[in-house]
Structure 1
Amino acid sequence: MPDLRRATAVDAPSMHRIAQDAYAPYVERMGGLRPRPMDEDYAASVAADEAWVADEDGSVVGFVVLVDDGDRMLLSNVAVLPSHHGLGVGRALLTLAEERARARGFARIHLYTHVTMVENQRLYERIGYAETHRTDEAGFARVFYEKTLTAG
């Protein structure tokens, strides 16, 4: 299992590359729209938000970006290289996100995903996230989830 560590500015290009690879399969499903994470400024995310990477022998294979969002933590983005899907990297990053939210004093964590990303929706529901609503924002059909965090 890769080591999880805080992202630094040096990691931003790797995060961008991972987002390209991880989200590329969804472009066709989304009718040619590019998922927002593909165009994210990861240097800015590392500087302004709480970003973590999964590091395997000096190579970044996944990441998560967390944002303070009022009374809860926003899990803004989680992505793993396709070559590392199914190996527990994404699950480790999601667990870390919940641990970090609790450590920061949040009782809830929330996220959203595109309606066509059904694999992600199944995973979120399996690990305790509940769908709260759906909206269409700037042409993106989004599904919103929230999880109430238990202590410790």
Structure 2
Amino acid sequence: MTHTGVLHMQRADASDAPALTDLANRAYRDWIDVIGSKPQPMGADYDDLINKDEVWLTGPRDRLKGSLVLRQEADHLLLWSIAVAPGTQGTGLGNRLLDFTLERARNLSFSEVRLFTNVKMQSNRDWYARKGFCETERKMIGTKHVVLMTRSV
């Protein structure tokens, strides 16, 4: 499903790392109490992610509205992180970011998008399921119990 509204995405560069860290902290902070620790994107090294992955952003660079971290694997595109600023949540931006991810996978000739989310993030798991993702595995990543989910594109 394609959602209405123009989404202006741009690739992040090294100068965007502080704004990406700020966005992750704002977008994920409410999950700390739910999972008992900081979600992985809150502790990420965005300089490193920008260098090795595709990091996309939308909104003014000094106050981002949303971001994606996409990793090209051998046989799929990994949606490593999707972040939406708290004041923008509920506006459909997350849906549009996911649409962008699926289109990016098609453009890169991948037939599948995969992601992982904390097992305790039930509303996220439910949202991904409504978007066509299916749970494929549960495992530990570091100290976090995660659910791996997959969707064909």
| The two structures share one fold, judged by TM-score above 0.5 | yes
Deviation at 1:138, TM superposition (A): 2.3
For normalisation by structure 2, the TM-score amounts to 0.90
User: Secondary structure of 2:91's partner?
Assistant: coil
**How large is the RMSD of aligned CA atoms in angstroms?**
1.6
Q: Which has the higher strand share?
A: 1
Task: Describe the superposition over 1:121-144 as per-residue Cα deviations: whole angstroms up to 9, x where unpaired.
Answer: 111011111111111332211011
Letter in 1 for 2:45: D
Structure 2 residue runs without a partner (length 5+): none
Indicate conservation of the 8 Å contact 1:54/1:93, yes or no: no
**SS of match in other structure, 2:47:** helix
Q: Return the alpha-carbon distance in structure 2 between the equivalents of residues 92 and 58 of structure 1.
A: 21
Conserved? CA contact 2:67–2:84, under 8 Å: yes
Give the equivalent residue in structure 1 for 2:96: 92
Match of 2:73?
Answer: 69
CA distance in 1, matches of 2:76, 2:34: 30
Q: Contact (CA 8 Å) 2:19, 2:62: kept in 1 or not?
A: no
5 Å-filtered alignment, 1:1-152, equals: 3-31=8-36, 33-56=37-60, 59-149=63-153
Contact 1:101 1:109 in 2 (8 A): yes
Residue 10 of structure 1: how far off its partner (Å): 2.0
Name segments (4+ residues, structure 1) moved above 6 Å: none
* SS at 1:135 equivalent: strand
TM-score (norm 1): 0.90
How many angstroms apart in 2 are the aligned matches of 1:128 and 1:22?
A: 23
Residues of 1 paired with 2:12 and 2:92: CA distance? 19
Q: Report the identity percentage.
A: 33
Could you tell me which amino acid in structure 2 is paired with residue 94 of structure 1?
Answer: L
- 3-state SS of the aligned residue for 1:147? strand
Q: CA contact under 8 A between 1:80 and 1:90: conserved in structure 2? A: yes
Deviation at 1:21, TM superposition (A): 1.0
In 1, distance between residues paired with 2:144 and 2:108? 30
1:47-71 Cα offsets, whole Å, 9 max, x none, are: 2211110125874211001001110
Return 5+ residue gaps in structure 1 as ranges. Answer: none
Aligned length: 148
> Structure 2: which amino acid aligns with 1:3?
H
